[in-house]
Chains A and B, each alone.
Chain A
Amino acid sequence: MCDITAVLTVDLLAQVLDWLHDSRDLKSCRLVSRAFLQAERMHRRAIRALRLGPLPVLLRRYVGSLQSLDLSSCPSLDDSALSLSIPCPNNLRSVSLSRATGVTWRGLEVLASVCPRIEAIDISHCVGFGDREAAAVAKACWLKELRIDKCLNVTDVGLAKVAVGCSRLEKLGIKWCFEISDIGIDLLVKKCLELRELDISYLKVGNESLRSIASLSKLEDLALVGCEYIDDEGLYFLSNGNCSLQSIDISRCENVTSVGLTTLAEGQQRLRKINAGNCSPVLTSTFVSKLCTLGDTLIILKLDKLQLLASALEIVGKNCRNLLEIGLSKCNGVNDEGISWLVEGCTHLSTIDLTCCLLVTDKSLLSIATCCRGVKCLRLESCVLISEKGLDQIASCCTDLKEIDLTDCNVNDNALKCLSRCSELLVLKVGLCSGVSDIGLSFIGTNCSKLLELDLYRCTAITDDGLAAISNGCKRLKKLNLCYCNQISDTGLAHLQLEELSDLELRGMVRITSSGITAMAMGCRSLTQLDLKRCYSIDDAGMWALAQYTENLRQLTISYCTVTGLGLCHILGSLRCLQDVKMVHLSWVSIEGFELALRASCGKLKKVKLLGKLQDVLSSELLQTLQSRGCRIRWVNKPLVFKG
């Protein structure tokens, strides 16, 4: 038998593999032969681990080529597990330990010492981390990229450790590190002169910080979301500083007004992206006219929730001709006239966000369709005045449309019929549109075979047939929302045979039972998130099916289901990837049931939502064990209310 590797050498194979992006394709490739496996091994640069068990073996297998390791979804990762998983001579450049609450500074220190060439570390959302952990990370002196978002105990001291230890830092995120003050930022700026990207969102820092930051000559990208102590004076410092910013996000800075934005636009002439959403409510025309001086460079402009006049949009349209993305969500003054002026100028627009622009009608859609033929993403949530006429225009002109959000737009089957002409459509959201029925879905099912995400939240007219049409046509769906579509029954669920479906929401579907869930679970084996809240008729049999077929399940909501202790124990015990379970008002589970189930899953769970009353009844030893294993418990005090 001829060996295929004689023809196709390993490096040729590796080049072929460059073109494979889907993990499933890679997997089938691995399974061809040992030579293919070898090629894949040499080719692989990144691993994202879901469980600890096989990790050490995997890492040893890939150690030569592996550069990026993501452990953020690994449950029960602790110091010893971390140090055991990472092989000693390695080429790791990037490690993500986001949300790895079980790791401490000791583990991080080992990481820094065994990965001499590490350049990027992510320890964001490890809420318990503080200065000691920051100091441990700071030992990785070649670090270029660091995220310590939401490490709540990091203070100026920790930041100073990082600043002194990692002076080559180029990207730093310290979002939500509330303890950091102006003094820390000042030191950071003095020590890390290479900084290109800085995220200080939600910090309680004032204008002095911006005065320091303005001296960073290489800074390009600055995020200041929700910095409540920053006002126009700070932006004045920025505009007169050494940095030449390309992107700035000052959304939700309550004290920033038009004056500050104007000075910023004057001073920073190379700005490409501006996000000024939710700042001061009134936007003066001076700022908009200053925007014109940015002219051709500007590509992204977000002005969410600002009061805009149609004339402002006219100025933007005339001057910012290269604009690719505009966000006008919740801007009161936006109307058809404004939109038509905008799109006449900005013909390259690919993303248009008109969420909650209540004055927008079909005329706007018409002008978008005629001017911006390359539009890819259109967000029209709550634009109640649009109808199938406008969408018809969009569908016939913008053939490249990939994403459209029509939530709460009262569209009907005809609109879906028009949209089904956009065969490139990937994301379709028609939640709360009660006019959408099986007929509309059958059009989508026949034509939009590339669809990845479909939102049918509260589309109450949909029945089993519609679901059948979708599952027969859109085989690549990854995300499906059927919440409160309460006409769908088990027969409909049985049609759901979507291999790639990972996220399914079935909340409030009162007619489905365990047999439907069983049929669905057999067909959708890649499910990672499942919401069964208020599916009152689902019992243990459903849990058994899920435990047997959907092994990748990571998030599960079974609040209000009629599951007993037995079913709960079984599913929590046998699903190996399960990390997040919401089980409020499981009236049929005894306290022993909860105890056993939680014990069975101890070490895997990261988040649990339970009824507050259980707090006193569950054994404190169990709760402590859970917490020490990095599981966060949320206690909910909601009265038991049944809704249809």
Chain B
Amino acid sequence: MKQIIGEPGIDLSSDSKMDLKLTRNSESFHKPNSSNHNLNSFNQASQYFPNLSPTNFLSRAENLQQNLKTKSTNSFEPNLNSGMATQNPPLDWDPHAMLSNLSFLEQKIHEVQSLVQSIIDQQAEFSSRPSELATRQQLATADLTCIIIQLISTAGSLLPSIKNTLLSNNPALRQLVNPDFNNNLKCEGLIRNFPETARNSEYEDLLRNLDNEADWMKEPNPLPQSDIVDANPIDEHDLKESDDGDAEREHLPPGSYIVLQLEKEEILAPHTHFCVICGKGFKRDANLRMHMRGHGDEYKTPAALAKPSKEPGSDVHPVTRYSCPFVGCKRNKEHKKFQPLKTILCVKNHYKRSHCDKSYTCSRCHAKKFSVIADLKTHEKHCGRDKWQCSCGTTFSRKDKLFGHVALFQGHTPALPMDEVKASGSGQGNDDMTEDLGGYNGNFASEECLTSMDVKGIDESRAYFSPMNFDGFGALDEFGRGGFDLEDNPFAFIPSGFGQRSGDS
């Protein structure tokens, strides 16, 4: 015992061998006293269950290794290591627990010692009362058994202390060396099948490999630079211009500004840069600047040709406002209450929104249509976010709005998130639901099935279950278990009751 504590399990093979010997001995010593026929047959049956072979263990370990590798290359997390540390179960070898176990054992041994001593002391008395001697002896035997078992388990908890951190990461390895965890039967099989030297060398290799893996993982991985940069370019459509450009707030007196009217084609041209003088549109600002040279010498200076700087132009343009080319529109200069548009962008948006087809359809709801692509994008951002739906089909962007609606109308309820959008009446929905039930798993009984079972089942069940049999409702059954032999087989893995019965009827 002390030897083990002194050198905590450096020689793995010898330790486990010793342990096995001990357990094997105590197993025979500690066999359940009621070993009958059933027991034996069962024992044989258990041998048919496949043992985990050592190759299995190794392949599992390799798998784990593989997993670690792929994981660390895929996810750029330098602190994988800390994550692993948290997964570790508490150390098996706790010196305090060990000490307490040992002192417990010591105490126990003293108890047995005094017990045996008392037997010796009172031997004369016992000769007259042999039964008492027997009970004392039984007590001593029981205590000794207890001590042996605990001794083995205590010793067993020592073994995994080598390479503890690694082992605790690998369940297969841990199992391999942890006898309190695994029964001796398996270990025995393992050692028989596996030459010790080979086992040791491969084992060490494995451990070393795992070590390397762990070191490698500790190094922080350089993050790929390309991914850091935010790949979201600023969308010019997102810069929302004030809607149709309210000139009315300015209250410019008529005549204090120039009114410019672009042609329809020009408005719809896919240009974004417009000449403030003639209104011609360009795709690129550079082209516009080239164009501007034709409007006078002031546009030919290097400053004007250079890229526009932030500071507002010092040169004063005449105040310009725009008119919509659509005759009859309030924004058309012929209109009695003409309200000019402020910028060219306003003209474009106004014209498209008011006088063009809505050709952009939302790809999510397929219902909303827009003529300005920016409007579509704005909508798409929120489309589908209206997850708060009422049973009447109305959707809401906010839960409290939906609940306000539900509170207001009799019979309306919030729709479940998983429900398909069925704007039709609730009756329709119910029918669908029952259809679903019929098909559920193939064996789900719908209502009709249930009733038919009932009618047929009564007579047959009377014959089958005697009226006395249900006492305590399936609990204590004093009249034997005749009625329920379907479930009496302790190893009937599938509770048969229902399948059987539905088959009958």
Residues of A whose CB lies within 8 Å of any CB of B are 23, 27, 30-31, 34, 37, 47-58, 60-61, 76, 79-81, 83-84, 86-88, 106, 109-110, 113-114, 131-132, 135, 138, 156-157, 160-161, 164-165, 183-184, 186-187, 190-191, 489, 491, 510-511, 513-514, 525-526, 536-537, 539-541, 544, 547, 551-552, 562, 564-567, 569-570, 573-574, 576-577, 585, 587-593, 595-596, 599-600, 602-604, 611-614, 616-617, 637, 639-644
Contact = CB atoms under 8 A, between A and B. Distances in A.
Contact of B180 (A80, A599, A640): A640
B76 interface: no
A587 B153 contact: yes
B34 A56 contact: no
A580 B458 CA distance: 33
A423 to B, nearest CB: 30
Given A48-B473, A83-B450, A190-B407, A541 B467 contact: no
B287 interface: no
A49 B400 contact: no
A592 B186 CA distance: 9
Contact of B477 (A86, A165, A551, A589): A551
Interface string B74-105: 00000000000000011110100100110011
A84 B486 CA distance: 18
B501 interface: yes
A164 B490 contact: no
Given A56-B457, A640-B153, A34 B467 contact: yes
B441 A644 contact: no
B161 interface: no
A643 B474 contact: no
Contacts of A585: 180
Contacts of A81: 498
> Which of A54, A55, A564, A644 has the largest count of B CB atoms less than 10 A from its CB?
A54
A130 to B, nearest CB: 9
Contacts of B451: 88
Interface stretch (B38-46, B119-127, B293-301, B324-332): B38-46
A570 B108 contact: no
Nearest to A161: B413
A637 B108 CA distance: 26
Contacts of B461: 56-57, 60
B275 to A, nearest CB: 55
12 contacts: A51-B473, A109-B433, A160-B406, A164-B406, A489-B139, A511-B139, A525-B476, A574-B490, A590-B185, A604-B495, A611-B181, A640-B157
Contacts of B30: 539, 562
Contacts of A184: 403
A604 B467 CA distance: 25
Nearest to A635: B89
B374 to A, nearest CB: 34
A30 B186 CA distance: 53
Nearest to B171: A616
B409 to A, nearest CB: 10
A567 B32 contact: yes
Contacts of A539: 30, 32
Among A34, A187, A565, A587, the most chain B Cβ lie within 10 Å of the Cβ of A587
B376 interface: no
Given A83-B444, A537-B146, A110 B437 contact: yes
B194 interface: no
B475 interface: yes
B242 interface: no
Contacts of A551: 475-477
Contact of A644 (B108, B175, B412, B465): B108
A510 B107 CA distance: 13
A164 B390 CA distance: 12
Contacts of B186: 590-592
Contacts of A489: 139
A552 B476 contact: yes
A544 B32 CA distance: 10
Interface of B: 30, 32-34, 39, 42-43, 46, 49, 51-52, 89-92, 94, 97, 100-101, 104-105, 107-108, 135, 139, 142, 145-146, 149-150, 153-154, 156-157, 171-172, 174-175, 178, 180-183, 185-186, 399-400, 403, 406-407, 411-414, 416-418, 433, 436-437, 440-441, 443-447, 450-451, 453-454, 457-458, 461, 465, 467-477, 483-484, 486-487, 490-491, 493-495, 497-498, 501-502
Given A84-B453, A644-B107, A562 B411 contact: no
B407 A52 contact: no
A643 B153 contact: no
Contact of A50 (B146, B403, B474): B474
B347 to A, nearest CB: 45
B450 A53 contact: no
B495 A603 contact: yes
A602 B494 CA distance: 8
B495 A52 contact: yes
A57 B447 CA distance: 18
A526 B97 contact: no
A510 B51 CA distance: 34
A383 B235 CA distance: 75
Contacts of A114: 447, 450
B437 A106 contact: yes
Nearest to B92: A639
Contacts of B411: 164
Given A57-B461, A510-B146, A591 B183 contact: yes
A60 B39 CA distance: 40
Given A34-B467, A190-B407, A536-B146, A54 B39 contact: no
A394 B283 CA distance: 101
Contacts of A642: 100-101, 104-105, 150, 153-154
Given A84-B502, A138-B413, A591-B186, 12 more contacts: A27-B471, A30-B468, A50-B473, A50-B475, A53-B486, A156-B403, A160-B406, A191-B407, A536-B149, A566-B42, A596-B49, A642-B101
In order of increasing CB-CB distance, the 8 nearest A-B pairs are A573-B490, A616-B171, A590-B183, A540-B32, A51-B474, A574-B490, A164-B413, A157-B414
Contact of A566 (B32, B175, B469, B484): B32
Given A639-B97, A641-B100, A49 B473 contact: yes
Contacts of A80: 441, 443-445, 498
A84 B446 CA distance: 9
Given A53-B484, A164-B411, A562 B476 contact: no
A183 B440 contact: no
B414 A639 contact: no
A357 to B, nearest CB: 35
B398 to A, nearest CB: 10
Given A23-B472, A186-B403, A640-B97, A57 B465 contact: yes
Given A52-B497, A164-B412, A644-B107, A109 B403 contact: no
A83 B108 CA distance: 57
Contacts of A567: 32
Nearest to A131: B416
Contacts of B437: 106, 109-110
B416 A157 contact: yes
B457 A60 contact: yes
Contacts of A88: 447, 450-451, 454
A541 B33 contact: yes
Contacts of A588: 183
Contacts of B174: 613
A566 B33 CA distance: 13
A639 B94 contact: yes
B150 A536 contact: yes
A114 B142 CA distance: 59
